[in-house]
Structure 1
Amino acid sequence: MSPTTTSTSPQHSNPLRSADDSRLNRIAGPSALVIFGVTGDLSRKKLMPAVYDLANRGLLPPGFALVGFARRDWEDQDFERVVHDAVKQYARTPFNEDVWAQLKQGIRFVQGEFDNPESFEKLSETLAKLDTERGTMGNHAFYLSIPPRSFPEVTQRLRESGLAEAQDGSWSRVVIEKPFGSDLRTARELNAVVESVFPPDAVFRIDHYLGKETVQNILALRFANLMYEPIWNAEYVDHVQITMAEDIGVGGRAGYYDGIGAARDVIQNHLLQLLALTAMEKPESFEASDLREQKERVLGAVRLPEDLAHATARGQYTGGWQGGEQVIGFLDEDGMNPESITETYAAMKLEIDTPRWDGVPFYLRAGKRLGRRVTEIAVVFKRPTDSLFASSQNSDLGQNALVIRVQPDEGVTIRFGSKVPGPTMRVRDVTMDFGYGHAFTEASPEAYERLILDVLLGDPPLFPRHEEVELSWKILDPIEEFWEQNGKPEPYRPGTWGPQSADDLLARDGRTWRRP
């Protein structure tokens, strides 16, 4: 059988897919995925399992290869064992011996250093052999699961070795993990370096949140349902809250996290992307150019309040009790600078200067050691203007809200008022709930499955281009500069919902944070 034949591969008789599965037209073509930083946690816990899960779902062809690049003194079979163990421990789909037998035939390892041209010559030779032996046809994706400081060196080595230049009829792509710089200046420098080697349409910036089914469902919820879009505007919406809360501390990431902080770590990318999808106008299509155009318009229209002291809050978690466990404070984490002023909690009020959102505040918050792990978007609606239900017996009636739960319990909750059974007209809040796990028999793919497949397909809608990245830094840079000039973060106890200044931020507007 030719290496590029797909009709009788074990993957393609996989019982996880049926013959009429709509995903059939999204099977990746012959290709090789090269992972730099293959010994790291991201590779072991996310990337390798995602590759296997794609194979197990029949979405990778027989002409596929997985290449690891690292300093370890490994042979191919050593790397094969590493992949096998990672798949066994972290894969989402059941282990299938036939699928694994097919996949492992294309697993290779290249021992090398980022600064050694000979290492990239070995990589080039390995890929050339795979093109011949596995039929990968010169299609190569380079996944830089490495610190951003190494991006320039690796991309330059790829250019010098000829690997960055696609040959006739083939493609060469690069995948970059966040952070995309630490401010606007460094983001522009990074973009210039990467795009001097790879053309813009061959650069895929990974924001794994955009691969989550519930994030993509924002577009379906808004534009596939007539009942929501007519009220998705300033006439009906009081405000929007976007929350990313974690109940853990920085742990082993102390060295990375110090100097980065909650705002740079997740607000600049994840939360501002959620804001853009929530607030954007309807795109002409779901093509990458149309989606990006609308997201860029929204991000370009974001305005900061003049008084950043009252429109932002930041905090650091202290030691204390959380969930029946004694935990240490941020400054006591292993490897942490005891004088660090890096925030572990950040909140801010943003406004969007468009007719749709005129006067509607967007409140963003992110933090560690909070009450629970949750990411959600809450669209909170205005109260009725008439007084028909304003009596004291209806004092427990809150505002209508539509809450999109991104994680961990993916779904949508709608809060509205309903009559309490009885002889009087008393109304109180009730909820209607949609959960992915209840409505669909198939579990949602892990975000990296979707994103890796899109890279191999050359399908870019879920990947922000450099304009989006730079617009996000334009929003965040003034806040970071203000914080640097205005003292230390406010302490907050673990297991709470952040510092008092965050509650004060909303209280000034007559509002309160949701307690998920």
Structure 2
Amino acid sequence: MPPSIDLTTRIDLPETQLPKAEPCVLVIFGATGDLTWRKLIPSLFSLARKDCLAEDFRILGIGRREMSDDAFRDDLRGRLTASGSDKGTAEAGAFTEDAWNAFAASISYLSGDFFDPETHRRLAERMKDFPGANRLFYLATAPSAAPEIVRRLAEVGLNREERGFSRIVLEKPFGHDLASAQELNRLIAEDFDESQVYRIDHYLGKETVQNVLFFRFGNALFESVWNRNHIEYVEITAAESLGVGHRAGYYDESGALRDMVANHLMQLLALTAMDAPVSLEADSVHDKKSEVWRSIRPMTPEQVASRTVRAQYVAGTVGGEQVPGWLEEPDVPASSRTETYVALDLRIDNWRWAGVPFYLRTGKRLAQQVTEIAVHFHKPPLSFFPCQDCFQSNVIILRIQPDEGISLTFGAKQPGTSRRAVPVSMDFCYQGNFEDPLSAYAVLLLDALRGDSTQFTRGDGVEAQWRIMTPIATAWAEQDQEPMPTYVAGSDGPHQAEGLLEWNGHAWRSIADARWACRI
């Protein structure tokens, strides 16, 4: 890690007034599940405390468990206060009885089976008791439930926008391959217009992800060199030190490719590579993202063999703790061929990026948690310097999590009489320079309530991503008799991933050794 030159100062900005949502009834399907109490309710509570919700805002939870409104409120309150130390529910840190009681007055509950037409009939009747006509339906359920819930909502007329808006929020995954994504889009389009559909990817709500466009297009210094003439290759990493926890059943069906690459990493790639949109309106941004994904040619089976790596972790040590391998995890079948690590070499065939490799990697049980975009620039022709090897290429690192920030690495002369360069870096850290932002879910919920779909995924974008991922998954399935590569938990991943870059004369940034100025 090069020495850091801290050129940042505290940025004193005028207090910005957060936008306020229109009056609305937010209906949460799956109201007793983990997503509701870990993410949705804390985020909504945070928005209420920041006065972002209208006075007539209401929350109606729907779940299979029988309970009263008061019992549902008490259950949420207990979970919220008990999990206040969790990063996903940090908003609970400012919990007060008065604030909660004011917020809880807006919460009610309806018990019923999501697939039962009677549940939706009772929902339609219940909606008449709320003020206003705006409706937002959040499907915090298994993805397989989405088509049926959408159909039942339409049967009772809750999809119609006669007196107010009717919107629906869908959680990933949006299908498991191209055919299923197309079918899901078709089924939803039968009852909801695309403008009513909000496909949520929580990565897009992170401030540092949204900042990629502002960094690129708001600074002429960087935008002018953001192309194949100056950039040699790009790394996009989403490393996790944790295992699968209680999600083994889901993860064994999805794997790292479907769980992380087909959404989160492809979104980061699009933000890094897209051309400037005409405006920041939703369709303009979506159009430019889709152009990037359509410019990536689907791989042939031969290309999959040479430009992709998949692997499973085996027992090792993470953070000083001995952890089991993937096949020893609870509820994981001994015959599982599910990948817990993926590395890809993708190529964008357009004018800006022709010939520039985009390397993507993600995995469980790696050396540490880090999500970042590293943009490596070409080395200049330095033949007149006596020590050419002293010069490293310039690298811009956009750190998404943790310790969010931006770093620029460059060469400087080492003090003294030698003509030798040493790598140094200029670092910007979000922490300490800006107030704590809203959580990703709070940002996206507020956007959905306000009708801004910019940070959501459009239907054609989902299909464009699956056109890239499906041939990879298909080729892997046909290779299931071949030995599955492995990597030791707590490492940087399988050695085969190193070879993926070495073939092109490149190397990954080390996950295990990565230090970050914002952490020092």
Q: Give yes or no for TM over 0.5.
A: yes
| Structure 1 gap segments, 5+ residues each | 1-19, 132-136
Give the 3-state SS of the residue equivalent to 1:406 in structure 2: strand
Q: For each residue in 1:204-242, what CA deviation from the matched residue of structure 2 results, as whole angstroms up to 9, or x when unmatched?
A: 000000000000000110011111001100010000000
Preserved CA contact (<8 Å) 1:65 1:103: no
The equivalent of 2:269 in structure 1 is 275
Q: Which residue of structure 1 lines up, in the alignment, with residue 179 of structure 2? A: 185
Tell me the CA shift for residue 331 of structure 1.
0.9
Query: Is 2:342 the counterpart of 1:346?
Result: yes
CA distance in 2, matches of 1:62, 1:87: 22
Unaligned runs of 5+ in 2: 1-13, 515-520
Distance 1:314 1:420 in 2: 41
Rounded to whole Å, the distance in 1 between the matches of 2:339 and 2:281 is 37
SS across alignment from 2:334: coil
* Matched-pair identity in %: 44
CA contact (8 A) 1:56 1:96 kept: no
* Cα distance in 2, alignment partners of residues 266 and 417 from structure 1: 34
- TM-superposed CA distance for 1:21, in Å, is 4.6
Q: Mapping of 1:16-55 within 5 angstroms?
A: 21-24=15-18, 26-55=19-48
Aligned to 2:447: 454
Query: 1:63-102 maps to which residues of 2 (within 5 A)?
Result: 63-88=56-81, 89=84, 90-92=89-91, 94-102=94-102
- Letter of the structure 1 residue corresponding to residue 173 of structure 2: P
* 8 A contact 1:304–1:351 mirrored in 2: no
Higher mean Cα deviation, 352-361 or 83-92? Answer: 83-92
2:430 paired with 1:436: yes
Matched, 1:242 2:209: no
In structure 2, what is the equivalent of residue 198 of structure 1? 192
1:381-400 pair list within 5 angstroms: 381-389=377-385, 391-392=386-387, 395-400=389-394
Letter in 1 for 2:119: S
| CA deviation after TM superposition for structure 1 residue 29, in Å | 0.8
Q: What secondary structure does 2:246 align onto?
A: helix
Cα displacement string for residues 311-369 of structure 1 (whole angstroms, at most 9, x for unaligned residues): 11000001122222111111111111110111000011011111111110000011001
Name the aligned partner's letter for residue 354 of structure 1: N
Within the candidate set 459, 477, 502, 2:470 is matched to 477
Give the letter aligned to residue 116 of structure 1.
D
Give how far 1:99 is off: 3.2
User: 3-state SS of the aligned residue for 2:129?
Assistant: helix
* Correspondence for 1:511: 506
Q: Which residue of 2 aligns with 1:119?
A: 119
Report the Cα distance in structure 2 between the residues aligned to 1:125 and 1:411, rounded to whole angstroms: 49
> Aligned residues, how many?
487
1:219 aligns with one of 205, 213, 218: 213
Write the deviation string for residues 57-99 of structure 1: whole angstroms up to 9, x where unpaired: 1101111111110011110001111222343322426124443
In structure 2, distance between residues paired with 1:354 and 1:276: 13
- Pair 1:447–1:202, CA change in 2 (3 A): same
Structure 1 residue 127, shift from structure 2 partner: 1.9
Q: SS at the partner of 2:408?
A: strand
Structure 1 contact 74–111 (Cα < 8 Å) conserved? yes
Conserved? CA contact 1:184–1:474, under 8 Å? yes
Matches within 5 A, 1:344-383: 344-383=340-379
**Whole-angstrom CA distance in 2 between matches of 1:179 and 1:499:** 26
**Do the aligned residues in 2 keep the contact of 1:52 with 1:91 (CA within 8 Å)?**
no
Work out whether 1:445 is the aligned partner of 2:459. no
Distance in 2 between the 1:85 and 1:317 partners? 36
Distance in 2, matches of 1:424 and 1:365, equals 39
In the alignment, is the contact (CA less than 8 A) between 1:302 and 1:353 conserved in 2? yes
Question: Is this contact kept in 1: 2:43–2:442, CA < 8 A?
Answer: yes
Give the C-alpha shift of residue 36 in structure 1: 0.9
1:165 CA drift (Å): 1.6
Contact 2:299 2:471 (8 Å CA) reproduced: no
Moved over 4 A (4+): none
- State the distance in 2 between where 1:167 and 1:251 align: 44
Shift of 1:396: 3.9
1:317 corresponds in structure 2 to: 313
Distance 1:319 1:434 in 2: 37
How far is 1:386 from its partner? Answer: 3.1
Question: What is the TM-score of this pair, normalised by structure 1?
Answer: 0.92
Q: Is the 8 A contact 1:287 1:461 kept in 2?
A: yes
**Conservation of the 8 A alpha-carbon contact between 1:53 and 1:91:** no
**Residue 42 (structure 1) shift:** 1.3
Secondary structure class of the residue paired with 1:228: helix
Shift of 1:308: 2.0
TM-score (norm 2): 0.91
Secondary structure (helix, strand or coil) at the match of 1:395 reads: helix
CA distance in 1, matches of 2:21, 2:64: 29
Matched to 2:433, the amino acid is A
